[in-house]
Amino acid sequence: MDYLTLKILSILVIFAVGVFGGMIPVGRGSIEGKQRLFSLGSAFSGGIFIGAGLIHMLPDANEGFSDAFSGLDYPLAFFVCGLGFLLILFLDKIIFEDPDDSTTQKAKTGTPYILAFIL
């Protein structure tokens, strides 16, 4: 197989996969009751993008932190990234809880304190 044929075949495969991936949500709009599968797919794709971003950007951020804080022998960028992730997870679990769930009614009283702490 020559180089031009391989390029054309690659273009067609990439286009077909893109069209197929774009048509899945259109077809899913007519099907009721399968929201969980769509939600899992959305979470999986979000995880892929976050993972790729962290893999590519976090080492450069760590190098920048090392240059800024030369006396500190600790990967501060990884710590800040993990702390930011945990803070957002914590806020998500407290602020956006299910109002119908009776076990989360106690957590609702802590929301003003958390928001005041953030400010």
pLDDT tens digits, one per residue of 7-50: 999 999 999 988 887 777 766 665 555 677 777 778 888 888 88
Q: Are 67 and 77 in contact (CB under 8 A)?
A: no
Mean pLDDT of all residues in the chain? Answer: 79
Q: To 10 degrees, the CA torsion angle through 70, 73, 79, 80?
A: -10
- Taken as a whole, the chain contains a residue count of 119
Neighbour count for residue 109 (Cβ, 10 Å): 8
For 72-111, write each residue's pLDDT tens digit: 888 888 999 989 888 888 887 777 766 666 555 555 566 6
